[in-house]
């Protein structure tokens, strides 16, 4: 597996853990980041989606598909951009940006690994 593939692979495990946490104990995670707790099912739905995306990352990483890697760079950077917009619009509290920063860091890791071939 290439360095870029490893960055995708390990990021996939982060997504699995995040997805399971959002599904099983969402309010623990939300309160840790000063986000409002919820009793609604939407956060668990998001958890399952995040978990499934993590599976895509883990299973695609060994294939070393440059197009997939590139798409993850764009989409992970967009997560940060969207979360900043949500905060600026007053739709979400500032700590949400921390999740976007993790995605952006993963994107930079993959981008750097792809450039160092």
pLDDT 10s digits, 64-95: 999 999 999 999 999 999 999 999 999 988 99
CA dist., res. 21 & res. 1, Å (int): 28
pTM as predicted: 0.87
Percent pLDDT > 90 in the chain is 85
pLDDT 10s digits, 34-56: 888 999 999 999 999 999 999 99
Mean pLDDT in residue range 98-117 = 93
pLDDT at 117: 65
């Amino acid at each position: 597996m290439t360095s870029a593939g490893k960055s995708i692979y390990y990021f996939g495990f982060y997504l699995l853990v995040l997805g399971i946490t959002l599904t099983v104990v969402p309010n623990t995670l939300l309160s840790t980041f000063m986000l409002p707790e919820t009793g609604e099912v939407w956060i668990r739905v998001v958890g399952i989606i995040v978990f499934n995306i993590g599976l895509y990352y883990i299973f695609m990483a060994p294939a070393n598909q440059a197009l997939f890697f590139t798409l993850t760079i764009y989409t992970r950077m967009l997560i940060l951009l969207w979360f900043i917009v949500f905060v600026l619009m007053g739709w979400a509290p500032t700590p949400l940006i921390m999740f976007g920063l993790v995605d952006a860091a993963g994107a930079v890791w993959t981008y750097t690994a792809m450039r160092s071939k």
